[in-house]
Each structure stands twice: as structure tokens, then as C-alpha cells.
């Protein structure tokens, strides 16, 4: 289509809307000098004749309207008045039309210049000639759920948004390339030489590796060159680009195709071509270190936090400038406390000084460097699991319980009556203040202590040692009951000595009596059943974190012995085994952990001999009922937790956690609130949803305003870190020896 044809179409529409007088003195006319080609087709602006011909500013329509004539179909669309907004189909007087319902992810992206792709249109609603909706709707069979809803990593900039949209089929190749010209990339730069290493630029292939943000730079790099892609396209020999947009988005773009698109759709934004340093390498940090050393009486300042930043970046995080300063401050404090005769005391506010509490073998706290949930202090990358995912799962579990405890076992109408029409919207008061952990988290910690104290780690494949695991679990539950007031002679280990754990966090005497009867081998105690069988799934998954670190029967054996002591019902054990197997891929050390809607189906294997029978048929039915499927065309059916079972049975609680989380992995606050605002066992549903959410996002991805209020957050993180380290290839057993045995005595 040529410009003249586009102008004729818009002129015809103007006459249809405004009548034959449109070209009169008080009418409208196309501004032909400003007609131009845009990614969506032709932009045809128009304005009042009085403004265009006579320059009467008071007669100007502002902002100037424009009609887009799409190519190749010639559809007319009214351009959005603001840059980045979406065009909409034009309306003809007195005629009905169908209004598009565009996916909110695309609406909010600011990529309206690229047009409205059909796969991003969820459907249409019919409006009459007066612009009023008739109530008639039509679904778009070509619609595809967006990347954020599917659980892709949430993009942090336009480049990452473009790459994720293209990966789900929302953008054509041409639309992607046009969008890329509006973006900037980062290229690693050696701080000493000011050059790009040959590892990132291969001269033979004219290939340049670029990154969407400093967070995605290789961990060892601390300097960067930031440049827009339009500038690269104008090089004499435009480089072929390998674009790293994060853990799930990569794209190859050849130099010639980038140059071609730049010639047709040139960049209008200001150019960018600059060098810089990552926060951990900024020169101002050296000044902070010197001033801190002088103030604290240190002989020399601590170094820049390059190592801390590298550890964080290897786990997908970047230390902020504030966190880098706190790291310098925290390391200075630790060095000060190591002086032969240090000044008395330590800072009252550990976190403000770059420190956090760690727990020693006597259950007391000692200061350690705050890693902000972004990296493990020890230089361990993990054999199978990522430290950030393990600690995120544990803290997420505690957070979900804290959010749901106040409404646990209340009906939904009762929740609404007490907290309003939206139910719980913030951390409610439970026990005596918001954020208190409850008995679920307490049990999780002691179950974790049990797997660490099991001697099977030192003697793999020993059936005799494995057979003693039941008594190890029994001992851990005895110690938990002791913290709740039950007598126990000479309890050992550090966890039972933590004063803050020696607080009763359940008013359910029947529950405590049942557990006490089981661990005391009371033959009169009836078998327990219920969703609490799911609590040990996370520590059971930890047992297979390293090579040869698990039981001969794998994590299935571990969880059946952990949960089976108190909950021997086969349906409960099947659900607990399923959740354990789900945690295994969720805790991966890989850069990307797949969302629940994907993993929940992937681990169901019809050939698995342990997934047979009525109990497993029920598990499969629960997954089908609770988890939407986003890989198909058409609108996904997001599930409401309230509609999944009774909210009390084991599979119903697990299903409600899945329903709350699936499709909301990138909306953590909303996911957790969905997990507790329903009738039934809100505390455990919230805990399970929090654990699965935290496994994907780590602690930094959980709602920080709630994490900051979480009771014993650092204790929970400490236990999780101990479990991670104990079962890693380079175990704490080998690193600390007898000191670790004192911390976790063997049976």
C-alpha cells in the first residue's frame, strides 16, 4: 500500500463521520506533510483546517489525532493520543462494532507503536452505534496467555519485555526487530583496559554477546559499555548479536537484518553510548570503606564487595548500591569484632549495619554478614539445588503460615465479615502481633533437623543405618513437643535451645496430645490423617541435594518415613510424595525454575511404578482440577482456591495452594493472599503456596514488606542454609567435622 491509498481511506472515513462539510472552513483535513510509515502501517494525522491553513493555535486539536491504516489489510484504527498507547478500530456513525479486549500485559508494556498483535487479543465485546456495550462477547481462539501470566521471569526493561513477548508468539520477527532498535544493551568491559574481552566479541564471526541489564552480566564482570542497538546497526560491519535477556530469554540477531530494519524504521529516541561500573565497583565505596575503617579504629579498610556481588549475580540477583554499602559496613564490623581487644558491644541494629543474626551451637545469636537473601556466604554453587531457592522456600513457607494463621479454618464469609470484602490484605495479627510463625513452621524446622541428624549421610547404602531414621524423626518431634511444654530429659542439639522457639504456638491440645502419643509409642493413640502430612515434603527433598546424599529409596523413602510416623494413611503419603517430587525440580540450581502449572504435570509419569493405584488417580485428578494449562490457545481457566475440594483434606489443601499460585507466580503478594482467603486450612495452604513461590523467586522475590515483619526470619533461613550445606557435595560434615556433629548430634 502506498501513502496515497492510505490517505484516501482516511479521507473517506472523515467524510463518513463528519459529513460532506468536513472540508469546509470549519472542518477537518489530513495533514499530508506528516503522513509517515510506522510499524503498524501508515500514520495519517489530521486536524482543523483553521489550524493547518491559518495557524490558529486556539483551533488546534491537541494532542493531534491520527488514524492508522494497517498493512496489508487496510483496517483503520484510531491512534492512541500518547506514545506507547494502543490504537483501536475506528467507529462509523450508527454502526455496531466489536471492541478489542487486549491482554493487560500488552496494554501496560508501552509497545503500542508495534501495533496490537492478534495473539494478544483475548476477545471482543460488542458495542452499539452509541458506543454502549451490548453484553455480547466473542473469544479469540488465536489468543495466547502472556509470558508474565505463564510464569516467565518478570521483565525489568523494554528489551526483556520484547524478548518475552516474542517467545510466546505475540510479536512477529519484524515487530521484534523494530522494537529492539528502541532498546539499549550492556556489553562487559574490562575496568583495567577499557576494552571488551575476546570472550564476548568473536572477530571471525563478527559476533558480539550483549546483555539486557547489569544483573544479567557474567558474575566476574564489574564494568560495562551501554549502547543502543540502532547505533550498533550503523557500524560499517554491524555485529551479529547474541542477546541474553535473562534466564529464559535469548535471541540471535544478525547484523544485516538489524541494519535493514534500522534503515526502514530509524530510531527517534536519543542515542546512548556510555561506559560505567556496577554498584559493587563504584569508587565511592572505597571512600566509604576508608572512612568506616578510620571511625572503627581498623588498621586498613575492607575491600570492595566484588566477591559478594559475584555470588549474588551467579544466583540471578544484583546487589544494589545500598546493599554494597551495607556489605562494606558489615565486613568492617566483623573485622572490628575480631580485634584482640575490640571495643565493647556490637551494633544494636544489625541490619542497619550490614549484619544479620546467625545461631550458634548453643542456640544463641552471633552477628554475620547480611547477604540479603541473595547469596550464601560460603563459596558453594550447589550440586543440584540453588541456595536461594532452598532458603526462599523455607522463608516463603513461614510467611504463608503467618499470613493465614489468623483466618485458619474460618469460612470465607466469616473472613469477609471480619476483614472486609477483600478479606485479608496484609499480615494480620496472629498470637500477639503480625508475622508470628506458628506450629507448622516449627515442625518444618524440626523435621529438617531430623534429616540433618540422620547418620545415613555418612554411611550411604547402609540399610541398618537407614532403619534408624524412624527413631531420629521421633526424637525431633519430641524436641518440638518439648518447646510446646512437654517434659523431655536432656534435649540435645542447638534448635531446641533457641529461646524464641520455646513458645507455644498452637492452642490445639488434641493435636499436641496426638503427636505426643505417637512419639511415645502409645498403642492407644489412633493413627493421624490429614494435610499436616505435607509439611515434611520440603526437608525430604533436601536429602537428595547432593550425589549419594539420600536414602536408598530416594526422597520417596525419606518423606514416607518423615510423614508416616504420624500420618500413615496411604492417600496422605501419596500426596506428600508427590509434593516432594515437585520440590526437587522447583529447587533447581539452574537459572530458571519452571512454574507450577508446568512442573505439576511433568512429574506425573504413567510408567512410574510408584504412581499407580487409587491414591495416585486422586492426585492426578487434583492436578487437573486445580492447575490451568497455559500452553494452549484461548483463554486459560484460572482456578479459584475456594472451589477446590473442602479446603481441609490433604489433596484439597495442596490443590488450593496450586490454584492460588498458578498464573500468579509473578504477582507474589496476590498469590499469597489467594492462598489464605478461602474456607479451610488457610495457614497450611498459605505455607505451601509460599514455599513453592519462594522456591522460584528466592527471598528477594517475596513481598519484602511482609518478610521484614516475619518472626524469626533469620532462624528459618539459618536452618534452611544448614540443610542445603549438609546435603551438598561439599558437605558441612567435611568442612566442620566435630563442630557440626555437636550442632546436629547423631543417633
pLDDT in tens, 419-478: 999 999 999 999 989 999 999 999 999 999 999 999 998 887 778 889 999 999 999 999
In a domain, 380, yes or no: no
CA pair distance 658, 682, nearest whole angstrom: 13
- Answer yes or no: do 519 and 644 share one domain: yes
CA pair distance 442, 152, nearest whole angstrom: 32
Burial class (CB in 10 A: 0-12, 13-18, 19+), 171: buried
Burial class (CB in 10 A: 0-12, 13-18, 19+), 300: exposed
Burial class (CB in 10 A: 0-12, 13-18, 19+), 397: buried
Residue with grid cell 473517506, as numbered in its chain: 12
In a domain, 32, yes or no: yes
**Residue 342 scores a pLDDT above 80:** no
DSSP structure class, residue 255: H
CA pair distance 233, 227, nearest whole angstrom: 11
- Answer yes or no: do 421 and 547 share one domain: yes
pLDDT of residue 187: 96
Which of 277, 300, 318 represents a domain boundary (last residue)?
A: 277
- Answer yes or no: do 300 and 405 share one domain: no
Q: How confident is the model over 22-54, as pLDDT tens digits?
A: 877 788 999 999 999 999 999 999 999 989 988
Length of the chain: 747
Q: Look at residues 530, 536, 543, 528 and name the one whose alpha carbon lies nearest to residue 563.
A: 536
In a domain, 550, yes or no: yes
**Is the peptide bond preceding residue 397 cis, with omega within 30 degrees of 0?**
no
CA distances from 597 to 13, 112, 222, 602, 690 (A): 47, 30, 37, 9, 15
In a domain, 513, yes or no: yes
Q: How confident is the model over 241-254, as pLDDT tens digits?
A: 999 999 878 999 99
Q: Look at residues 396, 464, 335, 369 and name the one whose alpha carbon lies nearest to residue 713.
A: 396
CA distances from 73 to 40, 42, 120, 569 (A): 11, 12, 18, 63
Q: How confident is the model over 245-286, as pLDDT tens digits?
A: 998 789 999 999 999 999 999 998 999 999 999 999 999 999
Helices (H), 229-349: 229-233, 255-264, 283-296, 306-314, 321-337
Q: How confident is the model over 697-734, as pLDDT tens digits?
A: 999 999 999 999 999 999 999 999 999 999 999 999 99
In a domain, 473, yes or no: yes
CA pair distance 256, 598, nearest whole angstrom: 37
CA pair distance 224, 403, nearest whole angstrom: 42
The answer to which of 148-162, 300-314, 466-480, 508-522 has the lowest mean pLDDT is: 508-522
In a domain, 304, yes or no: yes
CA pair distance 325, 556, nearest whole angstrom: 45
- What proportions of the chain, in percent to the nearest 5, are helix, strand and coil? 45, 15, 40
- Answer yes or no: do 157 and 58 share one domain: no
**Residue 647: CATH number of its domain:** 1.10.4080.10
- Answer yes or no: do 133 and 180 share one domain: no
CA pair distance 254, 251, nearest whole angstrom: 10
Which of 105, 120, 144 represents a domain boundary (last residue)?
A: 144
Which of 102, 126, 144 represents a domain boundary (last residue)?
A: 144
**Residue 552 scores a pLDDT above 90:** yes
pLDDT of residue 26: 80
**Residue 192 scores a pLDDT above 90:** no
Q: Look at residues 447, 399, 439, 429 and name the one whose alpha carbon lies nearest to residue 675.
A: 399
- Residue 181 pLDDT class (50, 70, 90 cuts): very high
- Residue 95 pLDDT class (50, 70, 90 cuts): confident
Q: b/e for 206-228, b at 16 or more Cβ within 10 A?
A: ebbbbbbbbbbbeeebbbbbbbb
Judge whether 124 and 146 are in contact, CB under 8 Å.
no
pLDDT of residue 147: 95
- Answer yes or no: do 544 and 434 share one domain: yes
Q: Look at residues 545, 580, 582, 583 and name the one whose alpha carbon lies nearest to residue 560.
A: 580
In a domain, 692, yes or no: yes
- Answer yes or no: do 425 and 554 share one domain: yes
DSSP structure class, residue 701: G
Q: How confident is the model over 528-544, as pLDDT tens digits?
A: 889 999 999 999 999 99
**Residue 343 scores a pLDDT above 80:** no
Residue, of 17 and 166, whose pLDDT is higher: 166
Q: In whole numbers, what is the pLDDT of the chain averaged over residues?
A: 94
Q: How confident is the model over 153-173, as pLDDT tens digits?
A: 999 999 999 999 999 999 999
What is the enclosing helix (H) or strand (E) of 14? helix 3-18
Residue 198 phi/psi, 5-degree rounding, is -60, -20
DSSP structure class, residue 272: -
Q: Domain of residue 296: give its range.
A: 284-368
- The mean pLDDT value for 551-566 works out to 96
CA pair distance 535, 444, nearest whole angstrom: 6
**Residue 527 scores a pLDDT above 90:** no
- Residue 631 pLDDT class (50, 70, 90 cuts): confident
Q: Look at residues 144, 139, 166, 169 and name the one whose alpha carbon lies nearest to residue 155.
A: 166
- Answer yes or no: do 202 and 109 share one domain: no
CA pair distance 533, 564, nearest whole angstrom: 8
DSSP structure class, residue 175: H
Q: How confident is the model over 98-128, as pLDDT tens digits?
A: 999 999 999 999 999 999 999 999 999 999 8
What percent of the chain lies above the pLDDT cut of 70?
100
Q: Look at residues 607, 591, 596 and name the one whose alpha carbon lies nearest to residue 698.
A: 591
Distance from the first to the final alpha carbon of the chain: 81
- Answer yes or no: do 308 and 437 share one domain: no
- Answer yes or no: do 515 and 616 share one domain: yes
CA distances from 101 to 95, 188, 427 (A): 19, 41, 34
- The mean pLDDT value for 284-293 works out to 96
- Answer yes or no: do 694 and 719 share one domain: yes
Into how many domains does the chain fold?
Answer: 4
Cell of 106: 500488552
Residue 282 phi/psi, 5-degree rounding, is -65, 140
User: Residues 6 or more apart from 430 whose CB is under 8 A from it?
Assistant: 402, 405, 406, 436, 438
Q: Look at residues 544, 634, 618, 526 and name the one whose alpha carbon lies nearest to residue 578.
A: 618
In a domain, 576, yes or no: yes
- Answer yes or no: do 523 and 408 share one domain: yes
CA pair distance 654, 625, nearest whole angstrom: 11
**Is the peptide bond preceding residue 4 cis, with omega within 30 degrees of 0?**
no
Q: How confident is the model over 571-603, as pLDDT tens digits?
A: 999 999 999 999 999 999 999 999 999 999 999
**Residue 94 scores a pLDDT above 90:** no
Amino acid at each position: 500500500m502506498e501513502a496515497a491509498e492510505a490517505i484516501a481511506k482516511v479521507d473517506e472515513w472523515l467524510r463518513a463521520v463528519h459529513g460532506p462539510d468536513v472540508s469546509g472552513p470549519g472542518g477537518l483535513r489530513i495533514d499530508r506533510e506528516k503522513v509517515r510509515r510506522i510499524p503498524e502501517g501508515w500514520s495519517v494525522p489530521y486536524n482543523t483546517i483553521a489550524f493547518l491553513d491559518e495557524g490558529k493555535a486556539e483551533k488546534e486539536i491537541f494532542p493531534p489525532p491520527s488514524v492508522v491504516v494497517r498493512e496489508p489489510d487496510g483496517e483503520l484504527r484510531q491512534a492512541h493520543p500518547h506514545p506507547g498507547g494502543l490504537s483501536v478500530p475506528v467507529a462509523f456513525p450508527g454502526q455496531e462494532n466489536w471492541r478489542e479486549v487486549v491482554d493487560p500485559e500488552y496494554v501496560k508494556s508501552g509497545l503500542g507503536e508495534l501495533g496490537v498483535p492478534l495473539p494478544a487479543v483475548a476477545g471482543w465485546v460488542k458495542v452499539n452505534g452509541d458506543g454502549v456495550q451490548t453484553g455480547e462477547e466473542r473469544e479469540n481462539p488465536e489468543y495466547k496467555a502472556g509470558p508474565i501470566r505463564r510464569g516467565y521471569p518478570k521483565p525489568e526493561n523494554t528489551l526483556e519485555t520484547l524478548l518475552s513477548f516474542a517467545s510466546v508468539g505475540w510479536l512477529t520477527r519484524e515487530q521484534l526487530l523494530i522494537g529492539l532498535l528502541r532498546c539499549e544493551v550492556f556489553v562487559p568491559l574490562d575496568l583495567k583496559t577499557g576494552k571488551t574481552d575476546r570472550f564476548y566479541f568473536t572477530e571471525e564471526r563478527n559476533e558480539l554477546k550483549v546483555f539486557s541489564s547489569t544483573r544479567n552480566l557474567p558474575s566476574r564482570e564489574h564494568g560495562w559499555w551501554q549502547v543502543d542497538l540502532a547505533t550498533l546497526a550503523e557500524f560499517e560491519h554491524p555485529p551479529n548479536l547474541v542477546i541474553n535477556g535473562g534466564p529464559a530469554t535469548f535471541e540471535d540477531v544478525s547484523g544485516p537484518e538489524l541494519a535493514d530494519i534500522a534503515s526502514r524504521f530509524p530510531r527517534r529516541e536519543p542515542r546512548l553510548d556510555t561506559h560505567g561500573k556496577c554498584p559493587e565497583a563504584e569508587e565511592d565505596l572505597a571512600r566509604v570503606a576508608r572512612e568506616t575503617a578510620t571511625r572503627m579504629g581498623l588498621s586498613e579498610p575492607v575491600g570492595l564487595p566484588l566477591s559478594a556481588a559475584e555470588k549474588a549475580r551467579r544466583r540471578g540477583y544484583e546487589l544494589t548500591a545500598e546493599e554494597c554499602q551495607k556489605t562494606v559496613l558489615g565486613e568492617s564490623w566483623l573485622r572490628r569484632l575480631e580485634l584482640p581487644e575490640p571495643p565493647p558491644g556490637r551494633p544494636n541494629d544489625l541490619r542497619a549495619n550490614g549484619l544479620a543474626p546467625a545461631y550458634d551451637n548453643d542456640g544463641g545469636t552471633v552477628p554475620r554478614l547480611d547477604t540479603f537473601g541473595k547469596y550464601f556466604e560460603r563459596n558453594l554453587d550447589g550440586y543440584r539445588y540453588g541456595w536461594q531457592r532452598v532458603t526462599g522456600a523455607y522463608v516463603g513457607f513461614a510467611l504463608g503460615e503467618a499470613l493465614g494463621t489468623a483466618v485458619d479454618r474460618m469460612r470465607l464469609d466469616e473472613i469477609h465479615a471480619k476483614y472486609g470484602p477483600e478479606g485479608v490484605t496484609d499480615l494480620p495479627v496472629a498470637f500477639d502481633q503480625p508475622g508470628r510463625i506458628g506450629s507448622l513452621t516449627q515442625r518444618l524446622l524440626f523435621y529438617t533437623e531430623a534429616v540433618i541428624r540422620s547418620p545415613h549421610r555418612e554411611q550411604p547404602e547402609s540399610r541398618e543405618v537407614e532403619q534408624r531414621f524412624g527413631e531420629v524423626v521421633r526424637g525431633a518431634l519430641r524436641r518440638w513437643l518439648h518447646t510446646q511444654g512437654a517434659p523431655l530429659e536432656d534435649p540435645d542439639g542447638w534448635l531446641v535451645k533457641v529461646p524464641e522457639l520455646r513458645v507455644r504456638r498452637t492452642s490445639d491440645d488434641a493435636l499436641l496430645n496426638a503427636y505426643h502419643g505417637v512419639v511415645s509409642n502409645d498403642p492407644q493413640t489412633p493413627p493421624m490423617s490429614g494435610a499436616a502430612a505435607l509439611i515434611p515434603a520440603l526437608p525430604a527433598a533436601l536429602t537428595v541435594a547432593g550425589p549419594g546424599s539420600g536414602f536408598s529409596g530416594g526422597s520417596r523413602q525419606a518423606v514416607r518415613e518423615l510423614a508416616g510416623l504420624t500420618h500413615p494413611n496411604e492417600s496422605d503419603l501419596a500426596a506428600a510424595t508427590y509434593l516432594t517430587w515437585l520440590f526437587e525440580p522447583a529447587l533447581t540450581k539452574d537459572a530458571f525454575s519452571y512454574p507450577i502449572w508446568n512442573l505439576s504435570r511433568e512429574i506425573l509419569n504413567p510408567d512410574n511404578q510408584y504412581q499407580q493405584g487409587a491414591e495416585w488417580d486422586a492426585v492426578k485428578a487434583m492436578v487437573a482440577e486445580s492447575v490451568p494449562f497455559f500452553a494452549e490457545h484461548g483463554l486459560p481457566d484460572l482456578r479459584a482456591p475456594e472451589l477446590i475440594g473442602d479446603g481441609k483434606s490433604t489433596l484439597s489443601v495442596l490443590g488450593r495452594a496450586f490454584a492460588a499460585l498458578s498464573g500468579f507466580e509473578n504477582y507474589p503478594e496476590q498469590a499469597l493472599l489467594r492462598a489464605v482467603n478461602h474456607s479451610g486450612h488457610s495457614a497450611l495452604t498459605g505455607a505451601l503456596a509460599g514455599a513453592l513461590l519462594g522456591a522460584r523467586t528466592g527471598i528477594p522475590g517475596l513481598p519484602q514488606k511482609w518478610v521484614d515483619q516475619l518472626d524469626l526470619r533469620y532462624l528459618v533461613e539459618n536452618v534452611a542454609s544448614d540443610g542445603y550445606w549438609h546435603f551438598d557435595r561439599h558437605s558441612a560434615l567435611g568442612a566442620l567435622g566435630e563442630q557440626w556433629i555437636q550442632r546436629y548430634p547423631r543417633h
